[in-house]
Structure 1
Amino acid sequence: MTTLLLVRHGETDWNAARRIQGSTDIPLNDTGREQARATAASLAAQFAGQSPVVVSSDLARARETAEIIAEALGVPGPHLYPQLRERSYGVAEGMTIEEYLEKFGAFDRENVPEAETTPHLRARAVSAARRVVRDARRHHAPQDVPVIAVAHGALIGQLIRHASGDTLPLAGSGSPTRRRTRSSSSATASACSPTPPSPSTESRAGCRAIAEICMIADAWARGIRGSADVRCCAGDA
């Protein structure tokens, strides 16, 4: 069994300003680096005695988060997968949420010129997860090693939706009105549990913008969603 743990990158200045990033390459700010170090410490305790594989989107905010995690774990730096990039938001990238709502109305990415569609994002996310797990198994067989993938909120959200049969994330968990409360905790880590905890348990644990999927890799590769246990804590851009 391969465990795939998905971590959203730490905060950037655009996150703090509630500005839409998408595929725009914005680096972590100091708060984001602090969040990444806190996550790294938690993951180092969680994976003590193990050597997880660390992979990442190639965008700077995810890559630096992954580098900080890999250093704390004492494992090689992240292998970069462009397929793990955030959703492209087209002409909306760089806008604040307020500017977006004024120009486009409802927060619906499908009405934004040049933005990546939801079906395309879902297919890309699932394909990327399959490739990450397949590569880890190929390079480390017969040993089964956990994989930590640092990515982005919209992509992680689609993986959760796929794995849960579109029952998670809970309605409203990715809405722009809640981004302000989550951005300061975007890289908080928690243990991967075989049983999805209740949202109230998640809140008490302080897990706000990280998602973890524990899965049987063979089943995932065949697209059998029911074989994945899902733990969801949120999703932003």
Structure 2
Amino acid sequence: MPTTTTFALVRHGQTDWNAEFRIQGSTDIPLNDVGRGQATAAVIPLAAFHEDERDWDFVVSSPLSRAADTADAIAAGLNIDVTHRLPTIIERDYGDAEGLQAGPELEALRIPNGFLTAESEAAVAQRGIDALQSLAAEFPGARIIVVSHGTLIRLTVNAIFDISAGPISNAALTVVRASPAGWHLDHLNGENVLAEESSTPVA
């Protein structure tokens, strides 16, 4: 029987910069009170997402504090461990655009698919794919919660499944499975995905 590794991709809880619609990127902005509540609430859908009576095995996260603190809250709520802080799943580096809100200063930096001095979308997606493939190779058959960032999750899922998903909400659950037969998308941004639209072979 093929070995399937299941990933719950969870965006961190809200920060003040999220609430102010500032580009956050690799800047280390902490959770605010709303975000801490969202991190705790994320335990509920994760606890309900069982497979053959199996619980989640462990949590990994980006090292940025908003993701690390979300991961710690989830792990405590599920009574499992955070085993890795993975630099490869840090948020996209937006360069000079970080900290900016919509306006002339931000527009002056805009280029197709990003901003001047920002990391490319392709590079972000590849980082995300490489991280999931490495985890699947190291822990085949595991059920792993991956706490990361909205743009990284969105671009990774879009690249794997050749779709155009929109923004990922704070603390929303996206579930993907990796097996020798390919990838399968179960949930996207907290919503079920139609089976016929959710599979793709390994590239």
Which structure carries more helix by proportion? 1
Q: Distance in 2 between matches of 1:145 and 1:160?
A: 19
- 1:41-190 matches, within 5 Å, as 41-47=44-50, 50-98=55-103, 101-105=106-110, 108-109=113-114, 111-113=115-117, 115-137=118-140, 144-164=141-161, 166-169=162-165, 173-174=166-167, 186-188=170-172
Q: By how many angstroms is 1:108 displaced?
A: 3.6
Matched-pair identity in %? 37
Q: Distance in 1 between matches of 2:100 and 2:110?
A: 13
1:232 to 188, 197, 202: 188
Give unpaired runs (5+ residues) of structure 1: 138-143, 175-181, 189-209
SS of equivalent to 1:124: helix
- Corresponding pairs, count: 185
Give unpaired runs (5+ residues) of structure 2: 191-203
Which structure carries more strand by proportion? 2
Q: Are the counterparts in 2 of residues 52 and 75 from structure 1 also a CA contact under 8 Å?
A: yes
- For residues 77-101 of structure 1, give each alpha carbon's deviation from its aligned partner in whole angstroms, at most 9, with x where no partner exists: 2411110000000000111133554
Q: Which runs of at least 4 in structure 1 moved beyond 6 Å after TM superposition?
A: none
RMSD, aligned α-carbons: 2.3
Q: Does 1:34 align with 2:18?
A: no
Q: Distance in 2 between matches of 1:232 and 1:135?
A: 25
TM-score, reference length from structure 1:
0.70
Which amino acid in structure 2 is aligned with residue 156 of structure 1?
A: I
Q: Are the counterparts in 1 of residues 5 and 143 from structure 2 also a CA contact under 8 Å?
A: yes
- For residues 12-36 of structure 1, give each alpha carbon's deviation from its aligned partner in whole angstroms, at most 9, with x where no partner exists: 0000000111001111111001001
Q: Distance in 2 between matches of 1:102 and 1:161?
A: 25
1:14 to 17, 37, 46: 17
Q: By how many angstroms is 1:44 displaced?
A: 2.5
Q: Are the counterparts in 1 of residues 28 and 64 from structure 2 also a CA contact under 8 Å?
A: yes
TM-score, reference length from structure 2:
0.81
Q: Distance in 2 between matches of 1:24 and 1:49?
A: 36
Q: By how many angstroms is 1:5 displaced?
A: 1.2
CA change 1:68–1:112 in 2 (3 A) is same
SS of equivalent to 1:132: helix
Which amino acid in structure 1 is aligned with residue 82 of structure 2?
A: G
Q: By how many angstroms is 1:161 displaced?
A: 1.2
